[in-house]
Amino acid sequence: MKTEQDLQKIGELVVEVLCDIYDPEIPVDIYQLGLIYDVQVSDACDVKILMTLTSPNCPVAESLPEEVKEKVKSIDEVADVEVEITFDPPWTKDMMSEEAKLELGML
């Protein structure tokens, strides 16, 4: 049985992996862009990620969620991964981190 600390550590590893995945059109990782709405780690070490895309017509709408799933699944402690796409609420530039806005010259 994993402790709360173990599950938190797995969640942190998941976020590290997400910070290595970049939107192909914007030179900022998907976590800093604000595309990740939620990361949940169950007691069974299953990970559920709720994310969005910059637009419903995003050219990577098919491949990006799959990339997220595969990269998170590569973490040894993770049993299974589910990636759910939502457009509620729709993504806006306000969801970007200060670092992302700085990187894109928006500050």
The pTM of the full predicted model, rounded to 2 decimals, is 0.92
Report the distance separating Cα 101 and Cα 87, nearest Å.
21
Q: What is the pLDDT of residues 6-56, one digit of tens each?
A: 999 999 999 999 999 998 878 899 999 999 999 999 999 999 999 999 888
The domain that contains 76 carries what CATH number? 3.30.300.130
Q: What is the pLDDT of residues 45-62, one digit of tens each?
A: 999 999 999 888 888 888
In a domain, 58, yes or no: yes
In a domain, 39, yes or no: yes
In a domain, 35, yes or no: yes
Which residue shows structure tokens 């910070």?
19
**Contact in structure between 14 and 78 (CB atoms under 8 Å):** yes
Number of domains in the chain: 1
Report the distance separating Cα 58 and Cα 79, nearest Å.
29
Q: How far apart are the first and last CA of the chain?
A: 45
Residue 77 belongs to domain spanning = 4-94
